[in-house]
Amino acid sequence: MFAEFGRRFVADGAFGQIEDIYWLEKPEVEELANTLTRGVPLSDMAERIPARKKQWQDFLKVVPPVMLPEKTRWSKLLHGEEGEKKGSTVVLKGVGTSGGICSGLRFIWFRRF
């Protein structure tokens, strides 16, 4: 259905490609559809689309937090504490969550509870 709207909007000059309809907001699509049914020339929406595509690309680079709020006592259970620098090494504390492969120098302490 949206592809058909896009085709009609392109035919009347609202933007350049059929897929550009997916970059419009709901009120904009409704406005274009209402304008199209009245037989009035459509407003040019093409200048809005590149900025929205760029914003979407920028959002893809953002790493969301593991949980909200970020600083709670539960957050330490999920991803441990920040690394602590001791001399030339960094000590990581946390809960192991992966059965992955570890390489390099390792020290393991066992303690009875």
Read off the pTM. 0.56
pLDDT greater at residue 87 or residue 103: 87
Q: What is the mean pLDDT of residues 66-79?
A: 69
pLDDT in the model for residue 71: 75
pLDDT in tens, 32-60: 999 999 989 999 999 999 999 999 999 99
Three-class SS state of 6: helix
Question: What torsion, rounded to 10 degrees, do the Cα atoms 63, 67, 69, 70 define?
Answer: -60
Which of 3-7, 14-18, 74-78, 81-85 bottoms out in mean pLDDT, i.e. has the lowest?
74-78
Asked whether residue 106 carries a pLDDT value surpassing 70, the answer given is: no
- Other C-beta atoms lying within 10 Å of the C-beta of residue 33: 14
Q: Where are the domains of the chain?
A: 2-60
Closest by CA to 95, choosing from 109, 77, 111, 108, is 77
Give the C-alpha separation, 56 to 78, whole Å.
29
* Alpha carbon 21 to its chain's center: 20
